[in-house]
Amino acid sequence: LPMQPETICSISVVIPVFQEEANLAALCDQLWPVLEGLPLDVEVIFVDDGSSDGSFAMLREIADTRAGVRVISFRRNSGQTAAIQAGIDAATHDVIVPLDADLQNDPEDIPRLLDKLRQGWDVVSGWRKHRMDAVVRRNFLSRMANRMISRVTGVALHDYGCSLKAYRSSVVKGVRLYGEMHRFLPLYAAMQGAKVTE
Ligand code: UDP
Ligand code: MG
């Protein structure tokens, strides 16, 4: 059956940050134009994961100068999964998009993820087709692992490791993540009945 297109009114971008002072300015330069071009209410939730560099000070400055920016701060480093968990818990909008702070994800891809959601999908997972870190691309084990996970779970994704994803909030709100589980959030969503694509 053709899927019903569904309206999206708002988006929460969740950005885990650990020792990223060198990247935050460039990240913002890339991110704001993309977000300003979206016909949506936007909130950006930075989660400072106990950085000891200038990241937190920079984030506070960003939050002071831009509407819709919130900063969560961990007292100590707890890992990317915990940071994303906190961002999901704090998010209030229709769609949640986790984004890395280290410039490895291109914010320009966000509108393309949203297009997929509008076609009726609940989760869109990024797929790094032309990975910069060629060593990993050639990693046979990483390819085998992806294939095995797909076979076992019935959710066929090429690239679980890509952090850039888009979720309808309803399929991830209430999730409890631990370990390195953020990579497998699409599987969790699929188990809740979500329609997952990449
Ligand atoms: N990160 C974090 N806590 C950590 C390690 C990383 O919040 O303990 C953030 C980091 O700042 C980045 C994202 O999580 O925005 C991905 O981290 P990293 O680039 O180290 O992971 P990889 O690209 O190797 O998956
Ligand atoms: Mg990275």
DSSP type of residue 152: H
162 Cα–ligand 2 center, Å: 9
For the chain, 198 residues long, give each residue's pLDDT as a single digit of tens. Answer: 445 556 899 999 999 999 999 999 999 999 999 999 999 999 999 999 999 999 999 999 999 999 999 999 999 999 999 999 999 999 999 999 999 999 999 999 999 999 999 999 999 998 887 766 655 556 777 778 778 777 777 778 888 788 899 999 999 998 889 888 888 899 889 988 899 999
Q: How far is CA 143 from the centre of its chain?
A: 21
Q: Give the number of other Cβ atoms within 10 Å of residue 123's Cβ.
A: 27
Q: What is the pTM of this model?
A: 0.91
**What is the H or E stretch that residue 168 is in?**
strand 165-168
Q: What is the reported pLDDT for 131? A: 67
- The number of the ligand 1 atom at minimal distance from the alpha carbon of 83 is 7
pLDDT at site 5: 57
Give the ligand whose atoms come closest to the C-alpha of residue 16.
1
